[in-house]
Amino acid sequence: MATALIGGLLGKKYPASQINVVEINRENHARLQHDFAVSVFENIADGIRESGIIIFAVKPQQLREVAIQIAPLLSGQLLISIAAGVLATDLARWCNYQSIVRAMPNTPALIQSGMTGLYALPGVTAAQREQAQNILAAVGETLWLDDEAMMDAVTAISGSGPAYVFYFIEAMQQAAIKLGLNAGDARRLSLATFLGASKLAASSDEDVSLLRARVTSKNGTTDRALHSLASSHFAEYITEAAQAAAARSREMGNELGKA
């Protein structure tokens, strides 16, 4: 995700000379310098010197340790955390600091088509909110939340959501193969259908239920397929899956906050 953000910022003409990266892995260190021509450091203090914005792009289990290390170096910078599951309030407690924005991007950010949920602590200024907005908008769309608890819902829908879509595409491909198509054609048909339907829904002001109804002729092929999905309680299973993801997100926040 850090790589996606760097690529997105550079794609928006943000100067590479103004992006510093702290990376202790030497292989990644060299790759980042080669691919993006940004400055890469092994030491946190060197990496954030004179930085107005600091982005935490580490594993959730590592965030507390990094926050404690960085705490003495903070003096007015904006902190943005993209570590999944870690509450902004816990991060604020670890580093005794309030100018924090929590972000939940998703993997389509890798192709600048992401969706990011954002939550700001009260200590974040309007100017800092705009800075966070500009950074995450470099890799897709953004949605600001007034209640951090809603980040669990964002995690369940847009954060985990790409996996649900991939799972459905897999099922579509398998169905196509069972109907006699070869694997290549099955993949092409499934991907093009999802892409086209998504573009149509995104470009329309109408509710997706209306778009679905227009494809569905009474007693036709689509009608038969949708009746089969309904009888299998497909929509209820999607809701249950999202609720399970949200519950796990809350559990992770509690677990990581106690770490």
pLDDT of residue 204: 96
What is the distance between the alpha carbons of residues 140 and 155, in angstroms, rounded to a whole number?
A: 16
Q: Full-prediction pTM beyond 0.75? A: yes
pLDDT of residue 47: 87
Q: pLDDT tens string for the chain (259 positions)?
A: 888 899 988 988 889 999 999 988 888 888 998 899 999 998 899 888 889 999 999 999 999 999 999 999 999 999 999 998 899 999 999 999 999 999 999 999 989 999 999 999 999 999 999 999 999 999 999 999 999 999 999 999 999 999 999 999 999 999 999 999 999 999 999 999 999 999 999 999 999 999 999 999 999 999 999 999 999 999 999 999 999 999 999 999 999 887 6
Q: Could you tell me the domains of the chain?
A: 2-151 (3.40.50.720), 161-249 (1.10.3730.10)
pLDDT of residue 73: 93
pLDDT of residue 28: 86
pLDDT of residue 21: 93
pLDDT of residue 259: 61
